[in-house]
């Protein structure tokens, strides 16, 4: 993008001042900038497109996630953005990059219509210093985010007038019709999910990661509401990052330079690290305010349940300074099983690991969305299906290979993979109770400390995963979910229902996944 009105790499203070000057936001009582993203308060996955051309036609997993669009449509919408941008008084540009491991770095130029969009890019991507900016001249990717530019569905064939389009050949992302900042973040994550596996042999992961005092790295995969952020923020372990990571042959590294946390019902007692991070430089989105007009009301969901804050990762005290860690020793798949069937912790073998990774299971509970009156299973491949340009089996097979390679490279006898249920026990939602957070923390601590390595295990009759018979600081009675139900026949009936939900979901992956992984799933 070449225009004379581009303002490059403005400081945080200048972006905040421009936002307030243009009456687009205000400061909170802690100095964070409060803005409203308008009509869209979340991503719009049905309006995310990938240009289908010679580069992508045979490599992208086309379908409901990766919706094809033509080069001609992309070029026309990009031209509309450039025409609109040339008429503006000021455009904001940010030099940034993704991947904390320099060897795999993806350089990015972010062009935005609004100053607070540029602040979001500053917070979320890695920030180059003065010398590194020189290295970014030959940038690899550009993002053009201009909410005022819309598509015409009759002309462009889009579903509606908003769009987010990735062009892997031109190495550009164009975003229009929506000001929701998450489209910027997840656009680049989608790019990395294509580039890193195919060109750099790095596994991109939708997970959080931390490091213990002995240098042991742990990964936490999980969908919204499973406890990924809560459980990875441990005062005794250093945070690598809270959402996106790469797994190379030598280490695990953060793909980002910041955090984008949900703040609905946030409290200092519940999430002290996030609460303290919301200060000058942080960007609060779609938050309700108390009567003084400046104090956030984190319990106010009148605008959206998806209230958010972005901030640079150094707003968190207990972090890995280089955003990297050694090869992982423990991997946790977090699920909130509202049916009360899965054990609070269990161990997976390699094939089961890939099966549950592809499945990406959790469950929504009554009241979380309109129309949901009972638990509802949710499957998101690789715990991040909306961001996967390739077939999920590619990432699953790569995960299996990484586990094997890491054990050889790191000298580990074994990389432990755990399935952790943070949901219900003693019955499904409405009958049983949610597993106490203190017990979940104790189980994860025991796994990390090796205290579950030598205990006795037994096999779950349906899922065939290994359940420990004992765990320090956790009652033995809750470890086997079947024992917690009043009526074991009811448990067996519900377990069979959940098994069938897994089977039905996995049918679309079975051919690519192969017989070994498919057979590692649960049985009736």
**Would you name the residues annotated as active-site residues?**
43, 186, 206, 224, 228-229, 243, 308
78's CB contacts (< 8 A; 6+ apart) are 144, 172, 174
**How many CA atoms are closer than 13 Å to the CA of 160, on its beta-carbon side?**
8
The β-bridge partners of 203 are 247
Contact between 241 and 257 (Cβ < 8 Å)? no
Which of 226, 182, 210 lies closest to 329 in space, CA to CA?
210
The structure tokens listed for 405 are: 């390679």
Q: Which two tokens stand for residue 328?
A: 């992982």
* Under 8 Å between Cβ of 342 and 335: yes
Q: How far apart are CA 136 and CA 170, in angstroms?
A: 17
d(CA 373, CA 364): 10
Name every residue whose Cβ is closer than 8 Å to that of residue 351 and which is 6 or more positions away in sequence: 516, 517, 519, 520
3-state SS class at 258: strand
**Could you give the CA distance from residue 29 to residue 10 in angstroms, rounded to a whole number?**
24
- CA angle centred on 419, ends 367 and 451, rounded to 5°: 130
Between CA 280 and CA 311 the distance in angstroms is 9
The H or E element spanning position 483 is helix 481-484
């Amino acid at each position: 993008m070449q225009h004379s009105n581009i303002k490059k790499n403005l400081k945080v203070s200048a972006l905040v001042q421009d936002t307030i000057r243009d009456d687009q936001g205000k400061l909170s009582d802690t100095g964070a900038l409060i803005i409203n993203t308008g009509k869209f308060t979340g991503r719009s996955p049905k309006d995310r497109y990938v240009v289908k051309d010679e580069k992508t036609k045979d490599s992208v997993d086309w379908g409901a996630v990766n919706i094809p669009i033509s080069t001609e449509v992309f070029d026309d919408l990009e031209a509309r953005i450039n025409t609109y941008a040339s008429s503006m008084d000021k455009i904001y540009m940010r030099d940034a990059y993704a991947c904390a491991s320099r060897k795999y770095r993806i350089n990015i130029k972010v062009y935005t219509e609004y100053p607070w969009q540029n602040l979001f890019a500053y917070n979320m991507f890695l920030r180059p210093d003065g010398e590194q900016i020189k290295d970014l001249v030959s940038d690899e990717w550009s993002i053009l985010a201009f909410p005022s530019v819309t598509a015409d569905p009759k002309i462009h064939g889009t579903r509606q007038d908003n769009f987010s389009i990735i062009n892997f050949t031109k190495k550009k992302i164009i975003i229009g019709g929506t000001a929701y900042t998450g489209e910027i973040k997840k656009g680049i994550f989608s790019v990395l999910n294509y580039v890193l596996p195919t060109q750099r042999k790095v596994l991109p992961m939708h997970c959080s990661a931390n490091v213990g005092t002995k240098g042991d790295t742990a990964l936490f995969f999980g969908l919204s509401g499973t406890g990924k952020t809560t459980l990875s923020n441990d005062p005794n372990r250093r945070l690598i990052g809270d959402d996106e990571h790469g797994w190379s042959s030598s280490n695990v590294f953060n793909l980002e330079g910041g955090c984008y946390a949900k703040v609905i019902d946030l409290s200092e007692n519940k999430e002290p690290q996030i609460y303290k991070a919301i200060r000058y430089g942080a960007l609060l989105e779609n938050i309700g305010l108390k009567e003084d007009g400046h104090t956030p009301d984190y319990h106010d969901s009148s605008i959206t349940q998806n209230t958010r804050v972005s901030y640079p990762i150094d707003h968190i005290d207990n972090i890995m300074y280089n955003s990297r860690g050694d090869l992982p020793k423990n991997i946790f798949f977090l699920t909130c099983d509202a049916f009360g069937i899965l054990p609070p912790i269990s161990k997976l073998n390699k094939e089961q690991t890939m099966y549950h990774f592809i499945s990406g299971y959790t469950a929504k509970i009554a009241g979380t969305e309109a129309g949901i009156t009972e638990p509802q299973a949710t499957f998101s491949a690789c715990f991040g299906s909306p961001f996967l340009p390739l077939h999920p089996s590619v990432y699953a097979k790569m995960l299996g290979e990484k586990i094997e390679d890491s054990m050889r490279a790191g000298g580990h006898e074994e990389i432990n993979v755990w399935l952790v249920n943070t949901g219900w026990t003693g019955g499904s939602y409405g009958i049983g109770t949610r597993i106490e957070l203190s017990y979940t923390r104790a189980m994860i601590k025991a796994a990390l400390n090796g205290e579950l390595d030598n205990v006795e295990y037994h096999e779950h009759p349906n899922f065939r995963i290994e359940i420990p018979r004992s765990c320090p600081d956790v009652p033995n009675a809750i470890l086997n979910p079947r024992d917690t139900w009043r009526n074991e026949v009811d448990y067996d009936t519900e377990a069979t229902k959940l098994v069938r939900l897994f089977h039905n979901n996995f049918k679309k992956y079975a051919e690519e996944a192969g017989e070994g992984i498919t057979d590692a799933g649960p049985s009736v």
